[in-house]
Amino acid sequence: MNKILILVVEDDRPVRNLIVTTLKTHDYKYLTAENGTTAIMEASSHQPDIILLDLGLPDMEGVDVIKKIRTWSNVPIIVISARSEDADKIEALDAGADDYITKPFSVEELLARIRVTIRRLAMLGMGEMQDTSVFENGDLKIDYTAGCTYLKEEELHLTPIEYKLLCLLARNVGKVLTHTYITRQIWGSSSENDIASLRVFMATLRKKLEKTPGAPQYIQTHIGVGYRMQKVE
Express each pLDDT in 45-89 by its tens digit.
Answer: 999 999 999 998 999 999 999 999 998 888 999 999 887 777 888
What is the distance between the alpha carbons of residues 138 and 214, in angstroms, rounded to a whole number?
Answer: 18
Domain interval for residue 144: 131-229
| Rounded CA separation 79/130 (Å) | 30
Helices (H), 71-106: 86-95
Is 125 a residue whose pLDDT tops 70? no
Question: Does residue 140 sit in the same domain as residue 213?
Answer: yes
Domain boundary among 65, 88, 122: 122
SS3 193: helix
216 pLDDT tier (thresholds 50, 70, 90): confident
**pLDDT tens, residue by residue, 11-28:** 999 999 999 999 999 999
> How many folded domains does the chain comprise?
2
Closest by alpha carbon to 138, among 205, 210, 213? 210
pLDDT of 1 over the 60 cut: no
Indicate the residue among 88, 122, 156 that finishes a domain: 122
- Of the pLDDT bands very low, low, confident and very high (cuts 50, 70, 90), residue 146 is confident
